């Protein structure tokens, strides 16, 4: 199974990117996860959507070819970051590559609530007209106080979080069977 991860933070030391990398490494035998780079995408502009820059074309192709999308997002100002909205705007137009494409959401924050609001908003957006992506509900991953749960090699050291991830990955695999 091929999954692409769309991470809502482009900073070098992003905890969400580290979470995506941990998932990529730990579950390599369960699915092939490619983490996409949102920093290469230009700002969405309707004037150029029909003849989009190569970075957009490549990004959409990777999403199109994947069996599912794993969204891994921080919370910015009680919602999802602009960089994530930008990627969604590109995905929602012209060849609407998200229609029918299964989505699963995770998020990490240094606060205790672990991206609850951002994920609720993202879920809503994924269901909406432009994307129409079926979202795996009840299998969300909220990693709060993430800075206390990773070691210097970016492994998640918190046993409860790892056990939880093992469980939700197995639920995700089960849920994906209906799409094959
Ligand atoms: C934040 N942060 C944050 N956290 C939160 O729980 N709720 C929020 O509304 C916000 N808002 C917010 C806005 C902006 C502009 C920044 C830069 C940060 C804190 C955020 O969760 C924290 O910086 C994470 O570490 C960001 O994720 P990455 O970059 O580590 O993946």
Q: 131-165: per-residue pLDDT in tens?
A: 999 999 999 999 999 999 999 999 999 999 999 99
Ligand 1 test: best mutation among 37, 79, 107, 109, most atoms within 8 Å of CB? Answer: 109
Q: Is the CB of 128 under 6 A from ligand 1?
A: no
Given the cut 0.85, state whether the ipTM is greater than it: yes
Q: SS3 of 79, please?
A: strand
The reply to whether the predicted model has a pTM over 0.95 is yes
Q: Does domain 2-179 have CATH number 3.40.50.360?
A: yes
Q: 49-104: per-residue pLDDT in tens?
A: 999 999 999 999 999 999 999 999 999 999 999 999 999 999 999 999 999 999 99
**CA torsion sign, 166 to 101 to 21 to 74?**
negative
């Amino acid at each position: 199974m091929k999954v692409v991860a769309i991470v809502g933070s482009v900073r070098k030391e992003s905890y969400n990117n580290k979470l995506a990398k941990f998932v990529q490494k730990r579950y390599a035998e369960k699915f092939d996860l490619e983490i996409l780079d949102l920093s290469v995408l230009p700002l969405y502009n309707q004037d150029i959507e029909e003849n989009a820059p190569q970075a957009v074309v490549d990004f959409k192709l990777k999403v199109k070819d994947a069996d599912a999308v794993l969204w891994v997002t921080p919370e910015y100002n009680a919602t999802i970051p602009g960089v994530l909205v930008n990627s969604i705007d590109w995905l929602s137009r012209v060849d609407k590559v998200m229609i029918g494409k299964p989505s699963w959401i995770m998020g990490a924050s240094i606060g205790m609530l672990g991206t609850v609001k951002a994920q609720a908003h993202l879920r809503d957006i994924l269901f909406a007209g432009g994307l129409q992506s079926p979202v795996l509900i009840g299998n969300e991953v909220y990693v709060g106080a993430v800075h206390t749960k990773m070691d210097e090699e970016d492994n998640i050291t918190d046993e409860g979080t790892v056990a939880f991830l093992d469980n939700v990955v197995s639920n995700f695999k089960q849920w994906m069977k209906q799409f094959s």
